[in-house]
Amino acid sequence: MVDEIKPQPDKPVINPEQFEKDNDQNFHIDVIYAMGNCRAVNYKLDAMDWITVKLKAGRIVPALATTTAAVAGLQTLELVKLLLNAKKSDHRNIFLNLAVPIMQASEPGEIAKTKLAEGIEVTLWDRWDVNKGTGRKDITLAEVIKEV
C-alpha cells in the first residue's frame, strides 16, 4: 500500500494511485473507457464496450512495463558504448516489437547533408545561433537573413 503524503500549507496534496482493474469502485476502468471512446470518436475508430476495455486494460499495464524495461536496457547499452568511445559501426539502431516478437538491429547510417552554398553543408542536427547585440531576443527576419 502507498503511504499517504501529509498536507503542507500552500502545497497541493498528490498521492500516487495503484492501478487496479478488478476494483470497480475506484473508477479506473471507467476513466479508461471514457477516454478510449473519446479517442475512438476523434479518430473515427469503433468504440468499445465497458467489459472489453476492462479485459484489455489488464494486458496493457504489463505490456507497458515490459516494453519500457526493454527500451531502457537497450538505451543503456548504447550509452555505455558512448562512454567507452566506441566506433560508430559498434552502435546499433534497434527496432523492437514485443507483440510479434521481433527485434532488428542495424548499423546507424550516415546523416543526410544538404549543400547550401560552396563550402557550406548542413544536416538536420546542425544549429545556427544568431546573436544580434547583447542578449537581444527581438531580432527581425530581415536581420536574421542578413546575418546568415
pLDDT confidence of residue 3:
60
pLDDT confidence of residue 147:
74
Prior bond of 101 cis (ω within 30°): yes
Residue 25 Ramachandran class (φ > 0 left, ψ -120 to 50 alpha, else beta): alpha
**Whole-number Å distance between alpha carbons of 7 and 15:** 10
110-139 pLDDT per residue, tens: 889 999 889 989 999 898 777 666 566 677
Residue 100, all three cell numbers: 510479434
**Whole-number Å distance between alpha carbons of 58 and 37:** 17
Mean pLDDT (whole number) for 37-57: 91
pLDDT confidence of residue 60:
77
Q: Residues 28, 20: contact at Cβ < 8 Å?
A: yes
Mean pLDDT (whole number) for 1-19: 68
- What DSSP letter does each residue of 8-74 carry, written as one string? -TTS---------TT-GGG-HHHHHHHHHHHHHHHTTPPP--HHHHHHHHHHHHHHHHHHHHHHHHH
Q: Residues 107, 89: contact at Cβ < 8 Å?
A: yes
Band of pLDDT at residue 65, cut at 50, 70 and 90? confident
